[in-house]
Amino acid sequence: MEYNEIIQQVVEFLGTFAFAISGIRHAAAKHFDWFGGYVCGIAVAIGGGTIRDVMLGTTPFWMTNPIYIICTALALIFVIVFAKHLEGLRNTWFVFDTLGLALFTIAGIQKSLVFDQPFWVAIIMGCITGSAGGVIRDVLLNNEPVIFQREIYAMASVLGGITYWLLDYFGTPIEATVLSSFMVVCLMRFLAVRYHLALPTLKDE
């Protein structure tokens, strides 16, 4: 297995765990049962990557390795076991969601490049991988999808993708490229929430 492929798998695994916890916690807020929580966790964890892989014309990543299904189950157990200890950590779930967005953005870009897609396609695929799972989760929970709210979400993914492209263009080592892109997505999300940054809204008549 090549070094880049190992990095991609590690990123996808960490992203799956982070996003699964985020989805399960959103389900817990709606008082879903354990199975409902698992469904929400798996939806947000594999939803974006599944759409990406279908668009790339390859078998969805979770169908080739059961580790992602197992990872979501571990996330469910983690939330169940530590529910009382984590009840007051509201900001923690925002952190998990942000980590998942950043990690899956990178995973989407890397897999697109493996399939010889141009970088503009890779950036879009990174955004889809990072954001689409959250849309599926919000639809299941009957919430307004976060990408349609004012807070910056998908745009953080796009900025992370542009950062990845620029660093790759100038021949930056893969480790520094991945880390920098990850930090841009996370920093953009944290700053947007901390300082209430948002894109301009559309005006009706």
Contact criterion met (CB below 8 Å) for 105 and 129: yes
Residue 167 Cα distances to 13, 143, 157, 171, 175, angstroms: 24, 36, 16, 6, 11
* pLDDT, tens digit, 9 for 90 and up, residues 24-47: 988 988 889 999 999 999 999 999
Confidence label for 91 from pLDDT (cuts 50, 70 and 90): low
Query: Of 89-103, 126-140, 144-158, which gets the smallest average pLDDT?
Result: 89-103
What's the average model confidence in pLDDT over 191-199? 86
* pLDDT, tens digit, 9 for 90 and up, residues 139-163: 999 988 888 877 788 999 999 999 9
Whether residue 87 is predicted with pLDDT greater than 70 in this model: the reply is: no
Which residues, at least 6 apart from 14, have a Cβ–Cβ distance to it below 8 Å? 99, 103
Q: What is the pLDDT of residue 201?
A: 82
pTM value surpassing 0.85: yes
Contact criterion met (CB below 8 Å) for 173 and 138: no
Q: What are the b/e assignments for 34-59, b being 16+ CB within 10 Å?
A: eebbbbbbbbbbbbbbbbbbeebeee
What's the average model confidence in pLDDT over 86-112? 81
Confidence label for 198 from pLDDT (cuts 50, 70 and 90): confident
Confidence label for 205 from pLDDT (cuts 50, 70 and 90): low
- Return d(Cα 172, Cα 9) in angstroms, integer: 20
CA nearest to 148, candidates 162, 161, 137, 135:
135
Apex 46 CA angle, 60 and 73, nearest 5? 120
| Residue that wins the pLDDT comparison between 72 and 100 | 72
Helix axes 34-56, 3-29, angle to 10 degrees: 140
What's the average model confidence in pLDDT over 122-127? 96
Residue at 190: amino acid letter: F
Query: Of 19-28, 157-166, 179-188, which gets the smallest average pLDDT?
Result: 19-28
Confidence label for 168 from pLDDT (cuts 50, 70 and 90): very high
Q: What is the pLDDT of residue 29?
A: 84
How high is the mean pLDDT of the chain?
Answer: 88
Q: What is the pLDDT of residue 145?
A: 85
Whether residue 70 is predicted with pLDDT greater than 90 in this model: the reply is: yes
CA nearest to 181, candidates 142, 97, 133, 123:
123
